[in-house]
Amino acid sequence: MDAKQIQLLLYPSARVAQRRLSALYQQGKIKRCTQTSPYFYYIDVHKNPLQRIGINWARLWLEKRCKSWERISFNYDTSICTVINTVTGAIREHYITDKVFKLPGDSTIMVNDDFINNAREVLRNA
């Protein structure tokens, strides 16, 4: 996840997040990639870390939009998010992609700059 995602999810301010992430990095508990801005942090190496950051924005966005009776399951290998309604048992699946097209009727979430900016706003206001 990138530093902004972690801050929005876990910490009250960017400064607190920076201090904590820096301490965790220095202790060797997490790894950090400094080739991007903002930095992104991880535990295991992923074959395409930049794609994973976009997928994390979609995951955070979906989690914030979930109702209390819904449960989310996320598969990073297939980029599929499954939302299960624990009351009715209904299942919805969302395929997360960074492609620039969407098929009509398809349950696809396109991760682009507009989506990430929208997700940031949703998370800030949550």
Residues 96 and 112 in one domain: yes
- The predicted-structure confidence for 22-74, as pLDDT tens digits, reads as follows 898 899 888 887 777 778 787 766 566 566 667 777 777 787 778 889 988 88
* 31 and 12 share one domain: yes
Res. 87: pLDDT tops 90: yes
pLDDT surpassing 90 at residue 95: no
User: For 13-34, how does the pLDDT look when each residue is reduced to its tens digit (9 = 90+)?
Assistant: 889 988 988 898 899 888 887 7
Q: Are residues 52 and 78 in the same domain?
A: yes
Residue 70 sits in the same domain as residue 33: no
* Nearest 10 degrees: Cα torsion 63, 103, 88, 72: -20
Distance CA 117, CA 40 (A): 17
Residue type, 21: L
Q: Residue 37 has what pLDDT?
A: 73
pLDDT of residue 89: 93
Judge if 2 and 39 occupy the same domain. yes
Q: State which residues form the domain around 32.
A: 1-45
